[in-house]
Amino acid sequence: MSQNSLPAHGRPGTDAANGEDQSTWDAKGFYNKLAPTKKPKTPNPQNAITIAVSSRALFRMEEEQKIYEEHGVEEYVKYQLEHEDEPFEPGAAFPFVKALEAVNARLRELYPESEELFDVVLMTNHHAQVGVRLINTINHYNLFIERFCMTGGRSLIGYLKAYHTNLYLSSDSGKVGEALGEGIAAATIFSPDKVVEVSDTQLRVAFDGDAVLFSDESEQIVKAHGLDRFFEHEKEHENSPLAHGPLKGFLEALGKLQKKFYAKGQRLECPIRTYLVTARSAASSGARALKTLRSWGLETDEALFLAGAPKGPLLEKIRPHIFFDDQMFHVEGATEMGTVSAHVPYGVAQRYKKSATKKEPAGGK
């Protein structure tokens, strides 16, 4: 992705009066006002909803990654040490993480002793010496991230499992594929191509259906036999729930937290809102999707059946903090309209990749 493709904080500008980067100060002021001044106790991983985020998903590290790729690890570490007092700029996952913290703040108000909270873990396979700059950056933005894993080139899989990870976001599609292969919900995150302001009080998460929340059973029918047979198949199996997909567990975790707000009479003021955004047609194949969620005891706040129409324009209206889809075509369409999007490389659609897969993830290649 080009330098013009930035996350929600916008492109840097300069204050002519004092030479300061004005957008950096604006971003700092915006994000800092959302964070608690006193950092609360970290929840037990076994009780929390653990969100693992790579350093290049959370922060913009294109320049550093270029040094690593062109000059190797020693020059990379040297550069990081020389610049460790300079905070990174917010990356694609930053607004999502801030929204998680906003939900936690509300949960702590209602349930002061509960550990059923979001717990963000920073994951990187880079050298531990880079950790000082990451810590400085986290403190700069007053983020509540206490758990770090810096593995020095080793696989993250064992650590993701040890932390009971509910969702792993990375800019490295290879690591995401490895995590999915081990049964861990994961996605490759992409920065939007333009700035769209998102809510600072309500976490909004949008999911595709097939091969994301559900299995790829129906997509296999489409690929093998075409749409007409797909519609027949869905009608025949309308009352047979689809098998679960890789992110079903994450939606389940979100629903569990939503019910804590409902129990306090705050359904209308709930700071979590979920969306099903699917290319399915409501009349011909929508019922099975909704009945599948019902059979799981789950629901989304909104269900949007687009019958093959582009998802980007609708997502621009919803303004989710993140949108998950298994097809890069939809991921690209969403990022072009300003939505932070995450590719879930799962299911039969991955065998039919088109040129859209050349799009760079957040933080560079």
What mean pLDDT value characterizes the chain? 85
Contact 281, 222 (CB under 8 A): no
pLDDT at 36 over 60: no
Render pLDDT for 294-304 as a digit per residue (tens, 0 to 9). Answer: 999 999 999 99
Per-residue pLDDT band for 9 (boundaries 50, 70, 90) equals very low
The set of residues, in sequence order, having a beta carbon less than 8 Å from that of 353 and lying 6+ positions away, is: 328
Report whether 209 contacts 344 (CB < 8 A).
Answer: no
pTM of the prediction?
0.84
- Whether 208 is a known active-site residue: answer yes
What pLDDT was estimated at residue 355?
39
pLDDT digits (tens, 9 = 90+) for 53-77: 999 999 999 988 898 889 988 888 8
Catalytic one of 208, 216, 325, 326 = 208
Dihedral class, residue 278 (left if φ above 0, else alpha if ψ from -120 to 50, else beta): beta
pLDDT at 211: 94
- Better pLDDT: 222 or 14: 222
365 pLDDT higher than 60: no
Chain segment 83-108, per-residue pLDDT in tens: 999 999 999 999 999 999 999 999 99
**Who has greater pLDDT, 133 or 350?**
133
Helix (H) or strand (E) holding 81: helix 73-82
Pick the more confident residue, 230 or 264: 264
The DSSP annotation for 88-127 comes to PEE-TTHHHHHHHHHHHHHHHHH-TT---SEEEEEEE-S-
State yes or no: pLDDT of 332 exceeds 80. Answer: yes
Q: What is the mean pLDDT of residues 148-165?
A: 90
Q: Which amino acid is at 237?
A: H
